[in-house]
Amino acid sequence: MRKLLTLILLSIVSFTYGQKDTSWTNGGSFGLNGSQTSFTNWAKGGENQVSLSGNVTLFSKYLKGKNSWDNLLIANLGTSRQGKQDYRKGDDQLEINSIYGHKATKNWYYSVLFNFKTQFAAGYEYPNDSTVTFISNFMAPANIKLGLGFDYKPNKDLSLFLSPATARITVVNDQDLADAGKFGLLPAEIDASGNIIHADKYRMAFGAMARLTYAKDIFKNVNFATILELYSDYLNRPQNIDVDWQFLFTFKVNEFLNAQLKGQLIYDDDVNIDIDSNNDGIVDAVGPRVQFTETFSLGLVYKL
């Protein structure tokens, strides 16, 4: 798996920077955003704040004859500090997408999809000022999808991948998190002698997937991009549809300055979320919940 990820990543980067074949369309952007607030003898009070985030998007698309190959790399990482707190992680995303297709009819392709998602750094939860809880890390979790199906591509802006056969692997490469049954895994068990039977670090699923990608300048200097994934596991409550929706609005200020509004909504019926209804640091309930994150940023951007 590591060799496959490395091959796809190197393919995206090398084609983006070095490919001269006109069958290839390559590009991307690098962004850097930051903010800082400082108070000295400020009568109205306040805490010093600093935040910094970076993002990279690279794409490489091949189209020649009946063959197409679309590759996309998305990477985001941010950190912030308030007052005397330690630096805390903000946005954290690493995603690789690759779809190879062979034309079947005018706008339809027989296709195979590979999708990989994880994060760069360890994640922590801060239920109160004195408690820090480790909740995630690189490859804990990681989600891998491999699907066979059909890709509908009526134009360069839209792609709809439909797969009746998609394998999904959830990896939790941390034994403590796996034993706790995080991210949809079965938790560890205790045998009759009191010994811990460690949980597996992965979970397999097989089902159907629909994946919509769209990117277009909707107004002058305003670009909208979105990825919507819907997944149904044939083997485990197929009526419960897992949802992963990402969206990004990019507002061009000038050649090197952009504002961005991005968000992601996730619902996975197999992932239980700890609920602290009265914020006292005690978990009152556990169950699947809608997860949502939103970020607005203004900063430097360089487009390839």
pLDDT tens readout for residues 133-170: 899 999 999 999 999 999 999 998 999 999 999 999 99
Contact 269, 291 (CB under 8 A): no
Indicate if the pLDDT at residue 190 is higher than 90.
no
Q: Whole domain around residue 288: which residue ranges? A: 2-303
Per-residue confidence (pLDDT) for residue 304, from 0 to 100: 74
**Dihedral through CA 172, CA 79, CA 132, CA 180, nearest 10?**
-10
What CA–CA distances, in Å, run from 15 to 20, 24, 117, 202, 237? 8, 8, 21, 33, 41
Q: Which residue has the tokens 């985001």?
A: 76
Q: Using CA atoms, how far apart are residues 48 and 82, in angstroms rounded to an integer?
A: 6
* Helix, coil or strand: residue 178: helix
Phi, psi of 183 (to 5 degrees): 60, 35
C-alpha 179/C-alpha 172 separation (Å) is: 10
Note the pTM of the prediction, 2 decimals: 0.86
119: helix, strand or coil = coil
Residues 103-125: pLDDT tens digits?
A: 999 999 999 999 999 999 999 98
The domain total for the chain is 1
pLDDT at 11: 56
DSSP state, 140?
A: B
Task: State phi, psi for 270 to the nearest 5 degrees.
Answer: -95, -10
Tokens of 295: 């970020």
Give dist(CA 235, CA 238) in Å, integer: 7
Q: Which of 15-29, 227-241, 256-270, 283-297 is predicted most confidently?
A: 227-241
Give the pair of three-digit tokens for residue 9: 């990543």
For the stretch 4-34, pLDDT in tens is 555 555 555 554 555 556 688 888 888 998 8
We report the CATH number of the domain holding residue 6 as 2.40.230
Instruction: Give yes or no for a cis peptide into 141 (omega within 30° of 0).
Output: yes
